[in-house]
Chain A
Amino acid sequence: MSRQDAPPIYLDHAATTPVDPEVFATMKPYFTEHYGNPASIHTVGQKAIIAVDEAREQVADFLGCKTGEIIFTSGATESNNFVLKGVLAAAKIQKPHIITSTIEHPCILDTCQHLEKRGVEVTYLPVDKEGVLNTKSVQEAIKENTVLVTIIYANNEIGTIQPIAEIGEIIKKANQERKNKIIFHTDAVQAIQYLDCNVKKLGVDLLSLSGHKFYGPKGVGVLFVKEGTLIEKIQHGGHQEYNKRAGTLNVPGIVGLGKATELTSKNRVADSKKQQKLRDLLINSILKNIPDSHLNGSNKHRLPNNANIRFDKIEGESIMLHLDFEGIAVSTGSACTSGTLEPSHVLLAIGVAKEQAHGSIRFTLGKDTSEADIKKVLEVLPPIVKKLRQMSPLK
């Protein structure tokens, strides 16, 4: 039902990104040509393991860690489940305690709630109006029985960036006086394209990535596990991935993810600059030209590609659909919550009222977003908002 003639203007890169053609070309031979099982000793299998090893090196280079610390998974949802369930399984204390935030991705929050039902203690740290965590609150939340701190590096809805390195310092200090060391994890899924993900600088023991958020394929992810971290496997079977994650490796996916990290580290600075400029044009023009529109989240601590804007007195879903008719793809919250009626937990956490949260739209730019794309949005959006407001009983 959208414009058939022109390609869509895709501004939903936080939901997923297209596979980069270069990445795709690298993956291709591993479907039909080099289809071996990397666990096989014969030559066909060896072709696959060599490719996986290379991808592992690319990722390790990117994160600044050893290749033996990279575990390939089926995506960040699995990586994050692995973190929470695996650390708890390895913890040898009575009632373990986890610290997290109120603005995590559902694959952290939902898993935490599941664990709470089984007697685990969870602290959900609040964030301020901009969506930023107070590092002191992390310090204060640490208890005798704390085993894990997991904080999202950059939020998927409002793009707020958390002070991960600072939190890493706090935990390092706390650990000096502890027998049961606290493990520190960050979900870096949204951060990877734009922020420094060197695990030593961040001071993390665990870090999750997802291929499809940075021009790699879907269904493949990474968990960085620092050597010596106490974590038990949650998926049992074969001895793959240093006996930490059973299951035949997704070779083409892993090859693609490896290539994508390489491209990302090459293009990060230039891409960030370009997207931030366009993003600022988008935000500033909307706020200036559309009355009663507001930016959700922080101006300063924000991913360069994210604009999340709320429009008073109208529904985000209606705006989104009207934009879709114009061939523009945006989202109302995160892709995974669009099936529910509940307003975004992230927007509620930063103090946005329920009705206002419903009127929010997320634009997330990508490496191929052009100025013409943004101009088109700025042309069609004001009349859409105006029309919906005319229709609204709230005046």
Chain B
Amino acid sequence: MDHFRDPHNMGSIKDPDGVGEVGNPSCGDIMKLYIKVGKNEAGKEKISDISFETMGCAAAIATSSMITDMALGKTLAEAIEITNQNIAEKLDGLPPTKMHCSNLAADALKKAIADYKSKNK
């Protein structure tokens, strides 16, 4: 619930390296994730900054906030593996009717990473 009341990493990033926007057809809600990509000590590409913008229900906002926390600092390979199940677990579970909301966050992150990769081939 704290992720809903006081979400982390909200807003947009100036000159992001990747942006992922997804809409939820069943409820009309929209989520946008922005990422900045840097290198870690091992020289692997990692998420150095991340933020979100969401118009959605409480679950959508909480999962947006949670995924930004989870993905920050992870390598792209790790981040892309985050599933909606992982997010829901971190939030101590979501009601079944709200699981689709957490898809938004996982999909938006995948899209943002794909966007970065397509720009940096």
Q: Which residues of A contact B (CB under 8 A)?
A: 1, 313-315, 317-318, 321-322, 325, 339, 341, 343, 354-355, 358, 388, 390-394
Contact = CB atoms under 8 A, between A and B. Distances in A.
Closest 10 CB pairs of A and B: A393-B53, A393-B32, A392-B55, A341-B27, A317-B57, A391-B10, A321-B58, A355-B28, A393-B30, A341-B26
B7 interface: yes
B97 interface: yes
Contacts of B4: 318, 321
7 contacts: A315-B60, A341-B27, A358-B27, A391-B11, A391-B53, A391-B54, A394-B30
Nearest to A317: B57
Interface of B: 1, 4-5, 7, 10-11, 21, 26-32, 52-58, 60-61, 97
B55 A339 contact: no
Contacts of B32: 393
Contacts of B56: 315, 318
B58 A318 contact: yes
Given A313-B55, A315-B29, A339-B97, A390 B11 contact: yes
A315 B97 contact: no
A1 B58 contact: no
A329 to B, nearest CB: 16
A109 B111 CA distance: 41
A388 B58 CA distance: 11
Nearest to B12: A393
Given A315-B57, A391-B61, A393-B31, 15 more contacts: A315-B29, A315-B55, A315-B56, A315-B60, A317-B57, A321-B4, A341-B26, A341-B27, A343-B28, A358-B28, A358-B29, A390-B11, A391-B55, A394-B30, A394-B55
A393 B11 CA distance: 8
Contacts of B55: 313-315, 388, 391-394
A341 B5 CA distance: 21
B58 A317 contact: yes
Residue from B31, B58, B60, B97 having most chain A Cβ neighbours under 10 A: B58
Contacts of A1: 1
B28 to A, nearest CB: 5
A358 B97 CA distance: 16
Contacts of A394: 30, 55
A390 B27 CA distance: 20
Nearest to A341: B27
Nearest to A318: B58
B91 to A, nearest CB: 14
B50 to A, nearest CB: 15
Nearest to A358: B28
